[in-house]
């Protein structure tokens, strides 16, 4: 299977702990996106990378959140000092941005529960 | 700011009939529109897209219509099948990034 993969699929943590999620995009895709989805809502954009460069960050991405894509392949999203409001599904997507309009393909997500 | 709106949280149709899911947007800079389908415990799956230079795109049972003047798009599924039961998200983007999603419509297709 060469789709987008995310690890772990589920994470339960206590408030105040740090968590890190990993995303492996489709291999030839140069863009990688992170989204957050809460119950009853659509995915909300957090940030995206073109190769290793982080090009845009949403105001939703507080200073407790940091994302990296060091070699332009996989990416990590770290949340420091987690809060109960961080509980959500974190989705990763990738795309091949060669055309004027590119389509993002999503991974299965990591569901975070902060107790 | 809800730039993409799906005003119907749910829709129920009979197998074999047409399903019509609607989506409205407010940002006139959006130039690419997509529909995703989501099953429980899975990420959204790309279904069909349309660029702003077209008003219709068809792929098998799925057709997306775009009305730029009304800032409205719709997804038609004909004929609907029980396996189509899922949450459908409308999404829009501009300048090839920062995609905005609607809140989703849960479609139930009854046998």
- Interface test with chain A among B8, B24, B40, B43, by most A beta carbons within 10 Å: B43
Residues of B in contact with A42 (CB under 8 A): 4, 6, 89, 91, 101-104
Query: Comparing C-alpha atoms, which of B74, B106, B107 is closest to residue B90?
Result: B74
pLDDT (0 to 100) of residue B108: 98
**Intervals of chain B under pLDDT 70:** 1, 96-97
User: What distance in Å separates the CA atoms of residue B40 and residue A109, rounded to the nearest whole number?
Assistant: 11
pLDDT (0 to 100) of residue B97: 66
Report whether pLDDT(A69) > 70.
yes
DSSP B96: T
pLDDT (0 to 100) of residue A41: 92
pLDDT (0 to 100) of residue A103: 87
pLDDT (0 to 100) of residue B1: 67
Q: CA of A56: how far to CAs of A67, B33, B69, B99, B103, in Å?
A: 11, 20, 29, 12, 22
Report whether pLDDT(A97) > 80.
no
Residues of B in contact with A48 (CB under 8 A): 97-98
Tens of pLDDT along A6-61?
Answer: 999 999 999 999 999 999 999 989 999 999 999 889 999 999 999 999 988 888 88
Choose among B32, B44, B102: nearest Cβ to A106. B44
Distance from CA of A14 to the nearest CA of B (A): 22
pLDDT (0 to 100) of residue B75: 98
The answer to whether A55 contacts chain B (CB < 8 Å) is: yes
User: Are A4 and B43 an interchain contact pair (Cβ–Cβ within 8 Å)?
Assistant: yes
pLDDT (0 to 100) of residue B71: 97
Q: What's the mean pLDDT when you consider all of chain A?
A: 92
User: What distance in Å separates the CA atoms of residue A54 and residue A77, rounded to the nearest whole number?
Assistant: 12
pLDDT (0 to 100) of residue A86: 96
Report whether pLDDT(A105) > 70.
yes
Distance from CA of B49 to the nearest CA of A (A): 8
User: Are B97 and A91 an interchain contact pair (Cβ–Cβ within 8 Å)?
Assistant: no
pLDDT (0 to 100) of residue A1: 55
Report whether pLDDT(A98) > 80.
no
User: Are B31 and A105 an interchain contact pair (Cβ–Cβ within 8 Å)?
Assistant: no
Q: Is the Cα dihedral A91, B101, A104, B29 positive or negative?
A: negative
Q: CA of A78: how far to CAs of A20, A75, B32, B90, in Å?
A: 4, 10, 30, 28
């Amino acid at each position: 299977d060469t789709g987008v993969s995310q690890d772990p699929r589920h994470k339960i943590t206590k408030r105040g702990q740090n968590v890190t999620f990993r995303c492996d995009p489709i291999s030839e895709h140069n863009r990688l996106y992170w989204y957050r989805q809460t119950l009853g809502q659509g995915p909300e954009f957090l940030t995206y990378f073109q190769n290793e460069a982080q090009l845009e960050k949403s105001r939703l991405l507080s200073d407790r959140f940091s994302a990296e894509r060091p070699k332009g392949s996989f990416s990590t999203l770290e949340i420091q000092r987690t809060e109960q409001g961080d509980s959500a599904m974190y989705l990763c997507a990738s795309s091949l941005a060669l055309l004027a309009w590119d389509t993002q393909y999503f991974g299965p997500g990591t569901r975070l529960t902060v107790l | 700011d809800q730039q993409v709106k799906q005003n119907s949280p749910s829709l129920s149709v009979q197998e074999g009939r047409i399903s019509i899911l609607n989506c409205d947007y407010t940002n006139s800079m959006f130039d690419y529109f997509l529909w995703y389908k989501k099953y429980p415990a899975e990420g959204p799956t790309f279904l069909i897209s349309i660029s702003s230079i077209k008003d219709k795109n068809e792929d098998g049972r799925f057709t997306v219509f775009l009305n730029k003047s009304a800032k409205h798009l719709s997804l038609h599924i004909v004929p609907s099948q029980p396996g189509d039961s899922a949450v459908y998200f409308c999404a829009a983007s501009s300048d090839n990034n920062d995609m905005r999603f609607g809140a989703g419509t849960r479609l139930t297709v009854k046998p």
